[in-house]
Structure 1
């Protein structure tokens, strides 16, 4: 598999290239809301660095979407990590890896810049976590970034255990499933690959043994931009689609990912056709990858 740092470097290069393509773009895009989101994003980015986190990837949803001819409100997400915190949370429930590592979204809603993040309470409810010390440590580390930023946590009203999680199973090992999923995702013309995080390898370095668990990060600028156009807050969990692959208790692997329509309903109380269409597309694509022992590179 490709080295994560190389993938991140490639992603960052792609983002710069996209920005250059857009230089001198439409006046509508160069708005005060865009400037406010950029300023907010920069402040969070400095806080992430000052707090000593490992930066995983930063994604400019709107500029990537605009490069594909799709308009959406300004939106930028930062994903950053503390492997020791990841390990502690995953020791409680490996499925919580779907909501790790840390992330903060800077976006515009109705012309107003906002920041939103996933807090410990969200993880506790969605993944039925009961190690309060791990959750407290998660919150302390995250507060080093979001305190004073005017950021708000993602909504938890209506959140229940396993809310908005689509699950698939496969007889493939985690390594085989990751290989097949990586191949089928990267073969799609409208998809950008952002990298992967091997949680079990991180845990081993901290003296903890976890089941094999790998988080895949990717997104589709055009379909993602359409899905976020009227629902920008879902960029906290969508557009950079997260796919967690972990070892099943009785062998094989389990694959879980976010139900985009459910997350739209959590944030906005409603969903739209593009959300359901993306769910159907992702589910069909992942099922195809998990059905075969060895998947040659193909395009959907």
Structure 2
């Protein structure tokens, strides 16, 4: 079951009085065109859009300048479920996501592929992984896109984990309250993977993915690291049932993902990690 968050559509009017502004405007136009092509391809592939997030315009509305960046998250439950059956923690990297962004004046498209899922979550179901990859390549067929790097990636790389005695439903409600109690955070939606799986005749442990982000702190974190928009700014928080009772909460280590993409990280990444960890831990204690 998917609960949709707000739909954001912001038009930015930019002055072209200098060559720098002109270059920025040109890159933004290219990023927007690539994104429009992606949205069209997703619709033609029969996938369900979950969230469309314009990082740069949301950040600009909060007074933070960053390079053009837009991410599209879309889903196919029949493809998600076999992967989750292999390892429910793979829900942190589901459903599909593709990023259109400006890297130093060069518009690019990045995506999370099946190899990333396989390595990070120790998946062995080749059929499920192939189905994921085939659907993704079907969407990206006419687009010049490249997968996220996997060099240096290992099982559970860049995953921060917390445990709670609360049930999944209790933990989810407390986390949502904590997240939306912060005045710089925007809600994008949530996905109940267990409910999705039941609709295709498969039983999964309770697992809910929460999607939200902070435009201002996220924009600062992405300023020199735009490719991390594939996994950050729309922060993904997975809550799933612990076999021993209670629940497990996992989310991305933003500094680790910056290091995966760029070979280095910055203080805003570590600061966000600390803030998120403190917020989530307090919520579920």
Scaled by the length of structure 2, the TM-score of the pair is: 0.96
- After TM superposition, give the deviation of residue 255 of structure 1 in Å: 0.2
- 1:196 and 1:25 map into 2 onto residues whose CA distance is 33
Q: Which residue of 2 is the match for residue 135 of structure 1?
A: 129
Give the 5 Å matches for 1:39-78.
39-78=33-72
- SS of 2:264's equivalent in the other structure is coil
- 1:81 and 1:196 map into 2 onto residues whose CA distance is 12
Which segments of 5 or more consecutive residues in structure 2 lack a partner in the other structure? none
- 1:206 and 1:49 map into 2 onto residues whose CA distance is 21
Q: 2:253 aligns with which of 256, 259, 270?
A: 259
- After TM superposition, give the deviation of residue 4 of structure 1 in Å: 1.1
- SS of 2:133's equivalent in the other structure is helix
Q: 1:268 aligns with which of 240, 262, 268?
A: 262
- 1:211 and 1:237 map into 2 onto residues whose CA distance is 24
> Comparing 26-35 with 64-73, which one deviates more in the overlay?
26-35
- After TM superposition, give the deviation of residue 147 of structure 1 in Å: 2.0
Scaled by the length of structure 1, the TM-score of the pair is: 0.91
- After TM superposition, give the deviation of residue 148 of structure 1 in Å: 2.6
Alpha-carbon contact 2:207-2:240 (below 8 Å) kept: yes
Q: 1:229 aligns with which of 223, 228, 234?
A: 223
- SS of 2:204's equivalent in the other structure is coil
| Cα deviation code 1:214-237 (max 9, x no counterpart) | 000000000000000000000000
- SS of 1:270's equivalent in the other structure is coil
Tell me, yes or no, if structure 1 residue 285 matches structure 2 residue 279: yes
Which segments of 5 or more consecutive residues in structure 1 lack a partner in the other structure? 292-300
- SS of 2:63's equivalent in the other structure is coil
- SS of 2:248's equivalent in the other structure is strand
Q: 1:106 aligns with which of 100, 105, 110?
A: 100
- 1:145 and 1:241 map into 2 onto residues whose CA distance is 23
- After TM superposition, give the deviation of residue 146 of structure 1 in Å: 1.2
Q: 1:126 aligns with which of 120, 126, 146?
A: 120
Q: Which residue of 2 is the match for residue 199 of structure 1?
A: 193
C-alpha RMSD of matched pairs (Å): 1.3
| Cα deviation code 1:243-277 (max 9, x no counterpart) | 00000011000000000000000000000000000
- SS of 2:32's equivalent in the other structure is helix
| Alignment size in residue pairs | 280
Tell me, yes or no, if structure 1 residue 86 matches structure 2 residue 80: yes
Tell me, yes or no, if structure 1 residue 210 matches structure 2 residue 204: yes
- SS of 1:256's equivalent in the other structure is strand
